[in-house]
């Protein structure tokens, strides 16, 4: 958790050298960032739980029990049961699938697409850069959730659509960040050499620029993960995410969880805890990764 200076600051525009895999990187990370490692372990546990949900979960997350509604947490239902008599614990386990799928999917797609656009914008420069950046300006002038809502309204609901909507709303941010890093490497001698040698645009972008923007890209990617999970929860809470009966944390907080807050508080407490824990783990891991990757901070 010991994130260094500029934990929040923006990729101050430095040429970040490419990461060169060195032996013992993982070991060094573990030694320098014990909390980050713990977060990584938690994430791994979450992935495992989600993958093996069918064997881990005590109940089927979809099975309704109209006679067993609003059961408080106890031996039968560790986290209680919901308004349809479904087991909250099992739904949270299965909900991790939705969260991770949307989290990873949206972050990777959004960050990667944004990175490509950002690098291309920096590489071509001139009018291409100007137009792209103005477009990015336009998209950045709306709150993230409003952009996501608009995209969901156009393309519809469902897990796959949700990934696309969140990825698209990350795209301008990613493009902006990567562009500023790419701009810095653009002027370096060896990229000039590459241009002089007549390398193709694609080659310059993917072989020469990409390795150099890897560090900010990875840092950005991890910070997107937490945000994507939060955004997914918010959209599902608004009814713009996945549909019932698909288990999803934000969806579990919606409707009955709020309506019967006093009568069955467990319906609102546990899914919220799950969201918070997951986002926390990704954020802490992201901070540690930023520390590890940003040479400026490695004092």
Partner 1 sequence: MGAPHAVGEAASCLFPPLRSGRWVARAVSRYILSRLLLILPTLLAVAVLIFLLLRVVPGDIVELRLVLGGSYVTPEVIAAERARLGLDAPLWEQFLTWMLGIFRLDLGRSMWSGEPVAREIGLRLQLSLQLALMATLFATAAAIPLGVLAAVFRGRWVDHLVQVISVAGLAVPSFWLGILMILFLLSVFQYLPPLTFTPLWVDPKANLAQLIWPALAVGYRYSAVATRMTRSALLEVLGEDYVRTAWAKGLAGMVILRKHALRNALMPVVTVIGLEFAFLIGGLVVTEQVFNLNGIGKLIVDAIGQRDYTLIQGLLLLVASGYILVNFLVDLIYAWIDPRISYR
Partner 2 sequence: MRMQRTGGRPGHRAGLAVMVGILVIGLLSYPVTAQTPRQGGILTYIVTAAPPSFDAHRETTFAMIHPIRPHYNLLVKFDTRNYPKVIPDLAESWTSSRDGMTWTFKIRQGVKFHDGSILTSRDIKASFDRIVFPPEGVISVRQAVYQGVRAIEAPDPQTVVFRLKWAVPSFLEKLASPFNWIYKADILARDQRWYERNVMGTGPFKFVEYVRGSRWVGRRNEDYFERGKPYLDGYQALFITSRSAMIAALKGGQALIEFRGVSPAERDDLVRTLGDRIAVQEAPWLCNLIVTFNTKKKPFDDARVRRALTLAVDRWGGSNALSQIAFVKPVGGMMRPGSEMATPESELVKLAGYGRNIQQARTEARALLREAGVPENFSFTLKNRDVAMPYEPIGIFLVDQWRQIGLHVSHVQQETATYLADLRALNYDAAVDFACDFIDDPDIQLAKFVSADISPLNYGGYIDRQLDLMYFQQSRSADRATRLRVVRQFEKRVLHDQAYVMYVLWWQRIIPYWRKLQGYKTTTNHYVEPDLSEYWLSE
Q: Which residues of this protein are in contact with partner 1, per CB under 8 A? A: 1-13, 134-135, 137-138, 140-150, 153-154, 173-174, 176-177, 180, 216, 219-220, 222-227, 230-231, 233-234, 237-238, 253, 257-258, 261-262, 265, 268-269, 272, 275-277, 279-280, 282-284, 286-287
Look at residue 57 and give its three-state secondary structure: coil
* Residue 66 binding result from partner 1, partner 2, none, given CB thresholds of 5 to 8 Å by partner type: partner 2
- Tokens 């014990």 locate to 34
Q: Which residues contact 174 (CB under 8 A, 6 or more apart)?
A: 110, 111, 112, 113, 114, 115, 117, 118, 220, 224
243: alpha, beta or left, given left = phi > 0 and alpha = psi -120 to 50?
Answer: beta
Of 169-177, 226-234, 238-246, 287-295, the segment contacting partner 2 by CB under 8 A is 238-246
Give 129 or 244: the residue with its C-beta nearer to partner 2: 244
Contact between 258 and partner 2 (CB under 8 A)? yes
Q: Which two tokens stand for residue 251?
A: 């969806």
Instruction: Give, in order, the Cα–Cα distances in Å from 65 to each of 68, 82, 257.
Output: 5, 9, 17
Q: Which of 115, 185, 256, 279 binds partner 2 (CB under 8 A)?
A: 256
Long-range CB contacts (within 8 A, 24+) of 38-47:
38/284, 39/280, 39/281, 39/282, 39/284, 39/285, 39/288, 40/281, 40/285, 42/277, 42/281, 43/281, 43/282, 43/285, 46/96, 46/100, 46/278, 46/281, 47/100
Q: Tokens representing 202?
A: 């694609």
Residues 195-234 that bind partner 2 (CB under 8 A): none
112 binds, options partner 1, partner 2, none, Cβ within 5 to 8 A by partner type: none
Residue 299 beta carbon to partner 1: minimum distance, rounded to whole angstroms:
9
- Out of 265, 272, 276, 297, the only residue in the binding site for partner 2 (CB under 8 A) is 265
| Sole window of 91-99, 108-116, 121-129, 260-268 interacting with partner 2 (rule: CB under 8 A) | 260-268
Pick from 15, 30, 42, 64: which binds partner 2 (CB under 8 A)? 64
Give CA 192 to chain center in angstroms: 34
Q: Which of 73, 158, 211, 272 binds partner 2 (CB under 8 A)?
A: 158
Residues near partner 2 (CB under 8 A)? 64, 66, 68-72, 83-84, 153, 156-158, 239-240, 243-245, 254-256, 258-263, 265
């Amino acid at each position: 958790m010991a994130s260094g200076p500029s934990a929040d600051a923006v990729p101050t525009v430095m040429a970040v050298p490419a990461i060169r895999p060195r032996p013992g990187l993982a070991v060094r990370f573990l030694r320098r960032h014990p909390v980050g490692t713990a977060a990584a372990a938690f994430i791994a546990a979450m992935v495992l739980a989600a993958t093996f949900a069918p064997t881990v979960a005590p109940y089927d997350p979809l099975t309704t029990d109209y006679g067993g509604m609003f059961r408080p947490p106890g031996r039968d239902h560790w986290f209680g049961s919901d308004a349809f008599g479904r087991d909250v614990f099992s739904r949270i386990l299965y909900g991790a699938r939705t969260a991770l799928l949307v989290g990873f999917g949206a972050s990777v797609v959004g960050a990667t697409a944004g990175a490509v656009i950002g690098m291309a914008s920096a590489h071509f420069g001139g009018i291409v850069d100007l137009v792209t950046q103005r477009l990015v300006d336009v998209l950045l002038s709306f709150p993230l959730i409003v952009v996501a809502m608009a995209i969901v309204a156009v393309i519809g609901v469902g897990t796959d659509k949700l990934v696309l909507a969140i990825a698209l709303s990350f795209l301008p941010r990613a493009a902006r960040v990567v562009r500023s890093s790419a701009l810095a490497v653009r002027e370096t001698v060896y990229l000039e050499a590459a241009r002089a040698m007549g390398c193709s645009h694609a080659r310059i972008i993917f072989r020469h620029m990409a390795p150099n923007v890897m560090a900010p890209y990875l840092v950005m990617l991890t910070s997107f993960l937490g945000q994507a999970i939060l955004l997914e929860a918010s959209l599902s809470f608004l009814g713009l995410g996945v549909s019932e009966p698909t288990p999803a944390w934000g969806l579990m907080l919606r409707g009955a969880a709020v309506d019967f807050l006093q009568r069955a508080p467990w319906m609102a407490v546990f899914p919220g805890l799950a969201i918070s824990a997951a986002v926390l783990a990704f954020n802490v891991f992201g901070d540690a990764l930023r520390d590890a990757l940003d040479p400026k901070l490695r004092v």
